[in-house]
Chains A and B, each alone.
Chain A
Amino acid sequence: MRKKLDTCFPASRIKKIMQADEDVGKIALAVPVLVSKALELFLQDLCDRTYEVTLQRGAKTMSALHLDLDSAHYIERFEK
Protein backbone atom coordinates (compact mmCIF):
# COMPACT_ATOMS: atom_id res chain seq x y z
CA MET A 1 0.00 0.00 0.00
CA ARG A 2 2.90 2.33 0.62
CA LYS A 3 4.75 3.53 -2.41
CA LYS A 4 8.49 3.54 -2.22
CA LEU A 5 9.84 7.07 -2.11
CA ASP A 6 12.49 8.22 -4.52
CA THR A 7 13.30 11.25 -2.47
CA CYS A 8 14.25 11.13 1.20
CA PHE A 9 14.32 13.60 4.02
CA PRO A 10 17.64 15.26 4.72
CA ALA A 11 19.02 13.67 7.89
CA SER A 12 21.13 16.70 8.72
CA ARG A 13 18.14 18.99 8.62
CA ILE A 14 16.18 16.67 10.86
CA LYS A 15 19.01 16.69 13.31
CA LYS A 16 19.04 20.50 13.20
CA ILE A 17 15.35 20.70 13.90
CA MET A 18 15.68 18.28 16.78
CA GLN A 19 18.50 20.25 18.31
CA ALA A 20 16.68 23.55 17.94
CA ASP A 21 14.99 22.36 21.10
CA GLU A 22 17.19 23.52 23.94
CA ASP A 23 16.43 20.54 26.08
CA VAL A 24 17.70 18.13 23.49
CA GLY A 25 21.39 17.31 23.85
CA LYS A 26 23.33 14.65 22.05
CA ILE A 27 21.76 12.44 19.47
CA ALA A 28 23.03 9.04 18.42
CA LEU A 29 24.06 8.75 14.78
CA ALA A 30 21.18 6.51 13.75
CA VAL A 31 18.45 8.62 15.36
CA PRO A 32 17.72 10.96 12.41
CA VAL A 33 17.29 7.83 10.31
CA LEU A 34 14.51 6.64 12.59
CA VAL A 35 12.88 10.03 12.83
CA SER A 36 13.08 10.35 9.07
CA LYS A 37 11.24 7.09 8.56
CA ALA A 38 8.62 7.94 11.17
CA LEU A 39 8.14 11.29 9.47
CA GLU A 40 7.69 9.60 6.13
CA LEU A 41 4.98 7.37 7.54
CA PHE A 42 3.33 10.29 9.27
CA LEU A 43 3.33 12.49 6.21
CA GLN A 44 1.98 9.67 4.07
CA ASP A 45 -0.87 9.17 6.52
CA LEU A 46 -1.52 12.88 6.60
CA CYS A 47 -1.56 13.10 2.81
CA ASP A 48 -3.86 10.10 2.50
CA ARG A 49 -6.34 11.44 5.01
CA THR A 50 -6.29 14.94 3.62
CA TYR A 51 -6.72 13.65 0.11
CA GLU A 52 -9.85 11.80 1.23
CA VAL A 53 -11.30 15.11 2.30
CA THR A 54 -10.28 16.66 -1.01
CA LEU A 55 -12.09 13.89 -2.85
CA GLN A 56 -15.16 14.17 -0.67
CA ARG A 57 -15.43 17.81 -1.56
CA GLY A 58 -15.08 17.05 -5.23
CA ALA A 59 -12.01 19.27 -5.52
CA LYS A 60 -9.05 18.66 -7.81
CA THR A 61 -6.66 20.68 -5.77
CA MET A 62 -5.79 19.94 -2.17
CA SER A 63 -6.06 23.06 -0.10
CA ALA A 64 -5.24 24.02 3.46
CA LEU A 65 -8.90 23.89 4.31
CA HIS A 66 -8.93 20.17 3.63
CA LEU A 67 -6.00 19.80 5.96
CA ASP A 68 -7.62 21.79 8.72
CA LEU A 69 -10.68 19.60 8.66
CA ASP A 70 -8.53 16.53 8.95
CA SER A 71 -5.92 17.67 11.41
CA ALA A 72 -8.38 17.67 14.28
CA HIS A 73 -7.47 14.05 14.72
CA TYR A 74 -3.79 14.88 15.02
CA ILE A 75 -4.30 17.92 17.19
CA GLU A 76 -5.88 15.64 19.73
CA ARG A 77 -2.70 13.63 19.82
CA PHE A 78 -0.45 16.66 20.04
CA GLU A 79 -2.33 18.07 22.93
CA LYS A 80 -1.93 14.93 25.01
Chain B
Amino acid sequence: MDSMDIVGKSKEDASLPKATMTKIIKEMLPPDVRVARDAQDLLIECCVEFINLVSSESNEVCNKEDRRTIAPEHVLKALQVLGFSDYIEEVYAAYEQHRIETVDSLRAGKWSNGAEMTEEEALLEQQRMFAEARARMNGGTIASKQPDADQTLDG
Protein backbone atom coordinates (compact mmCIF):
# COMPACT_ATOMS: atom_id res chain seq x y z
CA MET B 1 0.00 0.00 0.00
CA ASP B 2 1.16 3.47 -0.79
CA SER B 3 0.91 4.80 2.73
CA MET B 4 3.70 2.48 3.82
CA ASP B 5 6.14 4.23 1.54
CA ILE B 6 5.70 7.58 3.17
CA VAL B 7 8.21 7.96 5.93
CA GLY B 8 8.15 10.97 8.14
CA LYS B 9 6.76 12.64 11.15
CA SER B 10 3.67 14.05 9.50
CA LYS B 11 2.09 10.62 9.14
CA GLU B 12 2.80 9.72 12.74
CA ASP B 13 1.23 12.85 14.12
CA ALA B 14 -1.81 12.31 12.01
CA SER B 15 -3.28 9.38 13.85
CA LEU B 16 -6.31 8.88 16.03
CA PRO B 17 -5.97 9.35 19.79
CA LYS B 18 -5.47 5.98 21.42
CA ALA B 19 -7.48 6.59 24.57
CA THR B 20 -10.52 7.79 22.65
CA MET B 21 -10.27 4.90 20.21
CA THR B 22 -10.01 2.35 23.00
CA LYS B 23 -13.16 3.78 24.55
CA ILE B 24 -15.04 3.75 21.28
CA ILE B 25 -14.02 0.19 20.44
CA LYS B 26 -15.15 -0.92 23.89
CA GLU B 27 -18.51 0.77 23.37
CA MET B 28 -18.94 -0.95 20.04
CA LEU B 29 -18.36 -4.42 21.35
CA PRO B 30 -20.45 -6.32 23.86
CA PRO B 31 -19.38 -5.64 27.43
CA ASP B 32 -16.87 -8.06 28.93
CA VAL B 33 -15.14 -8.61 25.63
CA ARG B 34 -11.45 -8.04 25.96
CA VAL B 35 -9.42 -6.67 23.09
CA ALA B 36 -5.77 -7.54 22.80
CA ARG B 37 -3.34 -4.68 22.31
CA ASP B 38 -2.36 -5.83 18.85
CA ALA B 39 -5.99 -5.97 17.77
CA GLN B 40 -6.58 -2.46 19.07
CA ASP B 41 -3.60 -1.11 17.18
CA LEU B 42 -4.70 -2.86 14.04
CA LEU B 43 -8.24 -1.52 14.33
CA ILE B 44 -6.89 2.00 14.71
CA GLU B 45 -4.69 1.50 11.68
CA CYS B 46 -7.69 0.35 9.69
CA CYS B 47 -9.53 3.49 10.72
CA VAL B 48 -6.75 5.74 9.55
CA GLU B 49 -6.61 3.78 6.33
CA PHE B 50 -10.33 4.24 5.91
CA ILE B 51 -10.03 7.99 6.37
CA ASN B 52 -7.23 8.11 3.82
CA LEU B 53 -9.26 6.08 1.39
CA VAL B 54 -12.33 8.28 1.70
CA SER B 55 -10.21 11.45 1.56
CA SER B 56 -8.44 10.35 -1.53
CA GLU B 57 -11.59 9.38 -3.34
CA SER B 58 -13.43 12.51 -2.20
CA ASN B 59 -10.56 14.53 -3.55
CA GLU B 60 -10.84 12.79 -6.91
CA VAL B 61 -14.56 13.44 -7.06
CA CYS B 62 -13.90 17.07 -6.16
CA ASN B 63 -11.24 17.47 -8.84
CA LYS B 64 -13.45 15.93 -11.47
CA GLU B 65 -15.99 18.63 -10.74
CA ASP B 66 -13.30 21.28 -11.05
CA ARG B 67 -13.93 22.41 -7.49
CA ARG B 68 -11.20 23.51 -5.10
CA THR B 69 -12.82 22.59 -1.82
CA ILE B 70 -13.93 19.13 -0.83
CA ALA B 71 -17.63 19.39 -0.09
CA PRO B 72 -20.02 17.06 1.73
CA GLU B 73 -21.53 15.76 -1.48
CA HIS B 74 -18.07 14.70 -2.66
CA VAL B 75 -17.72 12.56 0.41
CA LEU B 76 -21.11 10.99 -0.19
CA LYS B 77 -20.21 10.25 -3.79
CA ALA B 78 -16.89 8.81 -2.71
CA LEU B 79 -18.60 6.44 -0.31
CA GLN B 80 -20.76 5.23 -3.14
CA VAL B 81 -17.80 4.73 -5.48
CA LEU B 82 -15.88 2.87 -2.81
CA GLY B 83 -18.71 0.46 -2.22
CA PHE B 84 -19.89 1.87 1.10
CA SER B 85 -23.30 2.87 -0.19
CA ASP B 86 -24.86 1.30 2.89
CA TYR B 87 -23.45 4.14 4.94
CA ILE B 88 -24.76 6.97 2.84
CA GLU B 89 -28.14 7.43 4.48
CA GLU B 90 -26.79 7.63 8.01
CA VAL B 91 -23.88 9.80 7.00
CA TYR B 92 -26.25 12.19 5.26
CA ALA B 93 -28.46 12.25 8.36
CA ALA B 94 -25.47 13.17 10.50
CA TYR B 95 -24.66 15.95 8.07
CA GLU B 96 -28.19 17.32 8.23
CA GLN B 97 -28.15 17.13 12.00
CA HIS B 98 -24.93 19.07 12.00
CA ARG B 99 -26.40 21.71 9.73
CA ILE B 100 -29.40 22.11 11.98
CA GLU B 101 -27.22 22.42 15.04
CA THR B 102 -25.11 25.02 13.31
CA VAL B 103 -28.16 26.98 12.18
CA ASP B 104 -29.64 26.59 15.62
CA SER B 105 -26.66 28.14 17.33
CA LEU B 106 -26.73 31.02 14.87
CA ARG B 107 -30.40 31.58 15.52
CA ALA B 108 -30.03 31.42 19.26
CA GLY B 109 -27.53 34.21 18.92
CA LYS B 110 -29.98 36.40 17.03
CA TRP B 111 -33.11 35.81 19.08
CA SER B 112 -33.48 36.51 22.74
CA ASN B 113 -36.22 33.91 23.21
CA GLY B 114 -33.83 31.07 23.53
CA ALA B 115 -33.68 27.37 22.84
CA GLU B 116 -37.22 26.00 23.04
CA MET B 117 -38.68 27.81 20.12
CA THR B 118 -35.77 27.08 17.87
CA GLU B 119 -35.76 23.40 18.77
CA GLU B 120 -39.31 22.84 17.60
CA GLU B 121 -38.71 24.70 14.42
CA ALA B 122 -35.47 22.88 13.92
CA LEU B 123 -37.27 19.58 14.34
CA LEU B 124 -39.81 20.53 11.69
CA GLU B 125 -37.05 21.64 9.41
CA GLN B 126 -35.21 18.41 10.02
CA GLN B 127 -38.24 16.41 9.00
CA ARG B 128 -38.62 18.48 5.90
CA MET B 129 -34.96 18.01 5.05
CA PHE B 130 -35.17 14.27 5.53
CA ALA B 131 -38.11 14.14 3.18
CA GLU B 132 -36.17 16.15 0.66
CA ALA B 133 -33.15 13.98 1.16
CA ARG B 134 -35.13 10.82 0.58
CA ALA B 135 -36.60 12.27 -2.56
CA ARG B 136 -33.14 13.16 -3.79
CA MET B 137 -31.76 9.76 -2.90
CA ASN B 138 -34.53 8.04 -4.74
CA GLY B 139 -33.93 10.28 -7.69
CA GLY B 140 -30.36 9.08 -7.70
CA THR B 141 -28.81 12.52 -7.77
CA ILE B 142 -27.42 14.66 -5.05
CA ALA B 143 -28.00 18.39 -5.27
CA SER B 144 -24.91 20.25 -6.31
CA LYS B 145 -25.83 23.45 -4.58
CA GLN B 146 -24.68 23.54 -0.99
CA PRO B 147 -25.27 26.70 1.02
CA ASP B 148 -22.26 26.20 3.21
CA ALA B 149 -19.89 25.50 0.37
CA ASP B 150 -18.27 28.80 1.17
CA GLN B 151 -17.34 27.72 4.64
CA THR B 152 -13.89 26.30 4.46
CA LEU B 153 -11.34 25.35 7.03
CA ASP B 154 -8.02 27.04 6.72
CA GLY B 155 -5.88 24.51 4.96
Which residues of A are interface residues toward B (Cβ below 8 A)?
3, 5-7, 9-10, 13-21, 23-31, 33-44, 46-48, 50-51, 54, 60-64, 66-68, 71, 74, 77-78, 80
Identify the B interface with A (CB < 8 A). 1, 10-11, 13-17, 20, 23-25, 27-30, 33-36, 38-39, 41-43, 46-56, 58-59, 68-72, 75-76, 79, 82-84, 86-87, 90-91, 94-95, 98-99, 146, 148-149, 151-153, 155
Q: Which of A20, A28, A64 contacts B70 (CB 8 A)?
A: A28
How far is B83's CA from A19's CA once the two chains are assembled, in angstroms?
Answer: 23
Smallest distance from the beta carbon of A47 to chain B beta carbons, Å? 4
Do A38 and B153 have beta carbons less than 8 Å apart?
Answer: no
Given contacts A27-B70, A31-B72, contact A38 B39 (CB under 8 A): no
Chain A residues with CB under 8 Å of B71's CB are 28, 31
- Interface SS of chain A: helix, strand, loop or mixed? helix
Chain A positions within 8 Å of B52 at CB level: 17-18, 21
List the B side residues contacting A74 at CB < 8 Å: 46
The answer to whether A38 touches B54, judged by C-beta atoms less than 8 angstroms apart, is yes
A39 to B46 CA separation, bound complex (whole angstroms): 10
A24-B59, A37-B90 provided; 8 other pairs, C-beta below 8 A? A9-B20, A13-B15, A17-B51, A28-B149, A29-B152, A33-B98, A37-B87, A47-B28
Is there contact, CB below 8 Å, between B24 and A43?
Answer: yes
Q: How far is the CA of A56 from the CA of B37 in the complex (A)?
A: 20
Chain A residues whose CB sits within 8 angstroms of the CB of B53 once the complex forms = 78
B34 is contacted by which of A3, A43, A62 (Cβ under 8 Å)? A62
- Taking the closest CB of chain A, its distance from the CB of B83, in whole angstroms, is 6
Check A27 against B46 for contact (C-beta < 8 Å). no
Could you say which residues of chain A place their CB within 8 Å of the CB of B84? Answer: 38, 41-42
